[in-house]
């Protein structure tokens, strides 16, 4: 089964994948993706989370790497919901639905606001859906946690993998962190291609895959 891990900035690495026709995408971009466009000012945090310029570039690049009709499940901090949904739609993806992963204790608790479960938006690329397993409900149980401080749990990821990627197909994750999507793919008999810019998390993912 295909299993590739790339160390680097996905904005530089994804152009190497154009036309590879991945079957599905499961990813968890950082809240401050594109932050470098707004250096150094706490005053412009709304711009960082609400401006979709970088998200749009990312979503457009990813669309060029998948099969027609491929499904993308995109986790995000809910502060970035308007930017993420707008950016992916503007990049040509169709919005399908939202998924919730139940978390007893969220890895995030900020400024005294509610502790959120994980939310993911589900998009599909233009074209007829390439694969659809019979889906369960839209609230997923987490199962074992991943090693990353804002990690995604394996049980929920396995269910998503089964539902959006055909057996033997390949899932792309441009922000793999500690690699739980890769782990879920291995356990479900799917291939995986992951990218991570941080050397520590890249090595954690690599060690798990060895």
Q: Which residues bind ligand SAM (CB under 6 A)?
A: 9-11, 28, 30, 146, 148, 150-152, 174-175, 177-178, 180, 195-198, 201
Residue linked to tokens 């839209």: 138
* C-beta of 54 vs 70, nearer to ligand SAM: 54
Least distance in Å: CB of 9 to ligand SAM?
4
Least distance in Å: CB of 134 to ligand SAM?
26
82-96: b or e for each residue (b if 16 or more CB lie within 10 Å)? Answer: ebbbbbbbebebeee
What is the Cα gyration radius of the chain? 16
* C-beta of 50 vs 198, nearer to ligand SAM: 198
* C-beta of 103 vs 148, nearer to ligand SAM: 148
* C-beta of 169 vs 182, nearer to ligand SAM: 182
Least distance in Å: CB of 209 to ligand SAM?
13
Kindly give, in sequence order, each residue whose CB lies less than 8 Å from that of residue 5, ignoring residues fewer than 6 positions away.
176, 179, 182, 193, 194, 195, 196, 202, 205, 206, 209
Kindly give, in sequence order, each residue whose CB lies less than 8 Å from that of residue 73, ignoring residues fewer than 6 positions away.
24, 25, 26, 27, 99, 120, 121, 122, 160, 164
Least distance in Å: CB of 125 to ligand SAM?
21
Residue linked to tokens 């299993």: 3
Nearest residue relative to ligand SAM (C-beta): 177
**Alpha-carbon distance 10 to 4, whole Å?**
14
Closest CA to 61 of 3, 125, 122: 125
Least distance in Å: CB of 62 to ligand SAM?
12
* C-beta of 70 vs 154, nearer to ligand SAM: 154
Least distance in Å: CB of 175 to ligand SAM?
3
* C-beta of 129 vs 198, nearer to ligand SAM: 198
């Amino acid at each position: 089964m295909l299993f590739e891990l790339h160390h680097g900035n996905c904005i530089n690495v994804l152009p190497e994948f154009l036309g590879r026709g991945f079957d599905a995408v499961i990813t968890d971009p950082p809240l401050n993706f594109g932050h470098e466009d707004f250096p150094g000012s706490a005053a412009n945090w709304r711009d960082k989370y609400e401006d979709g310029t970088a998200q749009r570039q990312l979503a457009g690049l990813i669309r060029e790497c998948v099969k027609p009709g491929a499904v993308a499940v995109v986790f995000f901090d809910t502060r970035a919901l308007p930017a993420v949904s707008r950016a992916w739609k503007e990049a040509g993806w169709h919005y399908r639905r939202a998924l919730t992963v139940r978390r007893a204790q969220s890895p995030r608790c900020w400024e005294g606001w509610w502790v959120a479960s994980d939310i993911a938006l589900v998009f599909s690329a233009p074209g007829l859906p390439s694969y659809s397993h019979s889906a369960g409900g839209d609230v997923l149980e987490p199962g074992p946690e991943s090693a990353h401080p804002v990690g995604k749990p394996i049980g929920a990821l396995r269910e998503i993998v089964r539902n959006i990627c055909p057996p033997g197909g390949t899932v792309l994750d441009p922000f793999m962190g500690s690699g739980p999507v890769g782990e879920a793919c291995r356990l479900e008999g799917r291939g995986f291609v992951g990218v991570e810019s941080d050397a520590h998390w890249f090595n954690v993912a690599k060690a798990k895959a060895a």
